Amino acid sequence: MGEITNVTEYQAIAKQKLPKMVYDYYASGAEDEWTLAENRNAFSRILFRPRILIDVSRIDMTTTILGFKISMPIMIAPTAMQKMAHPEGEYATARAASAAGTIMTLSSWATSSVEEVASTGPGIRFFQLYVYRDRNVVAQLVRRAERAGFKAIALTVDTPRLGRREADIKNRFTLPPFLTLKNFEGLDLGKMDKADDSGLASYVAGQIDRTLSWKDVKWLQTITSMPILVKGVLTAEDARIAVQSGAAGIIVSNHGARQLDYVPATIMALEEVVKAAQGRVPVFLDGGVRRGTDVFKALALGASGIFIGRPVVFSLAAEGEAGVRKVLQMLREEFELTMALSGCRSLSEITRNHIVTDWDVPRLLPPARL
């Protein structure tokens, strides 16, 4: 294998290195995996309208997310059970994010606890929350995250039940015996039973609250002062309700195409959600981002930033912390180059006019001369 030159190349290395059950868990999507492919393909239907002869000798990619200054609008999405990918797991990811000056989101289902991740050193970290049937468990977990210095909650709202991931069913997926869901270890919820299908699907069916509704978003605000990002919004209707319910931000996400198949790619749903939010809260995107060009396209459509998921676990599997650092570095450099070649010196200069999409009304051309 030659030198790695882009983010996508890590997937093949991860496939070689990881046990089949683990690779399939990270890589697969729901059912036909139509949305899984579409999350990527949709980006290729957005083209650039670069502006030329602009002094791009200095490019500023910094931004502020919920009041926190970060080096670039590229952040780390929550992905579960990272110690399946590499022995250092979430510790390595946390250190890589901190070194890159960006935000890591820790999964509820991490194989390292909120306290352990906090112990890696300084860094801005968000906590992804699944709401368990036992609300005391939820309240306790939120308190622990807050005490450990986490700055926001990313509330996953697209998983009342786990999506049908057929590779996990075939492989009878379960958490390897030497690992636990560390945040739940002391609560006897840290282990997954072997099941006739996906062990994770059975765990979710038993533990995650299907009654979760907008009133619970309000309830969360009564138990924590951390801002709440609603993760898993794909429509204008839900974007409006999220704002009304006091959400501090919205993450346009289809759960990496792992929940409901045949939902649109997130980049296709983004503009609708941004328009509905009317600038009242920031809107973020995850799903299918593999290139700096993808980051630029999301920002041009109104996103305040993006999150990457699978590239983190694949690079972690391949090269540990160094791999995750490299992914963040490559995306940063590609994004900076895209900005320069598009004539944008800061994020505020990236506009809707820098891209053209299939659904744009054709621009008025000068009248044809007969």
Block means of pLDDT (10 residues each) for the chain, length 370 residues?
Answer: 91 98 97 98 98 98 98 98 98 98 97 97 97 92 97 96 94 91 80 68 80 96 98 98 98 98 98 98 98 98 98 98 98 98 98 94 67
* CA 347 vs CA 187, 280, 282, 293, 339: distances in Å: 44, 18, 14, 13, 8
Q: Considering the entire predicted model, what is its pTM?
A: 0.95
pLDDT of residue 365: 62
Q: Is 255 a catalytic residue?
A: yes
Q: Enumerate residues 6+ apart whose C-beta is below 8 A from 257.
A: 29, 30, 33, 35, 36, 38, 39, 263, 287
CA dist., res. 217 & res. 142, Å (int): 13
pLDDT of residue 208: 83
Domain ranges in the chain? Answer: 7-357
pLDDT of residue 70: 98
111: number of Cβ within 10 Å: 25
What is the tens place of the pLDDT at every residue in 159-182?
999 999 999 999 999 999 899 999
What is the tens place of the pLDDT at every residue in 88-100?
999 999 999 999 9
7-357 CATH, one of 3.40.50.720, 3.30.565.10, 3.20.20.70, 3.40.50.2300: 3.20.20.70
pLDDT of residue 80: 96
CA dist., res. 105 & res. 76, Å (int): 6
pLDDT of residue 368: 62
**Percent of residues, the chain, with pLDDT higher than 70:** 94
- Residues 53/341, Cβ–Cβ less than 8 Å: no
pLDDT of residue 188: 61
Helix and strand numbers, DSSP H then E, in the chain = 13, 12
Given the residues 255, 297, 332, 354, select the one marked as catalytic: 255
pLDDT of residue 186: 76
The helix/strand/coil state of 232 is: strand
For the chain, give the longest Cα–Cα distance: 80
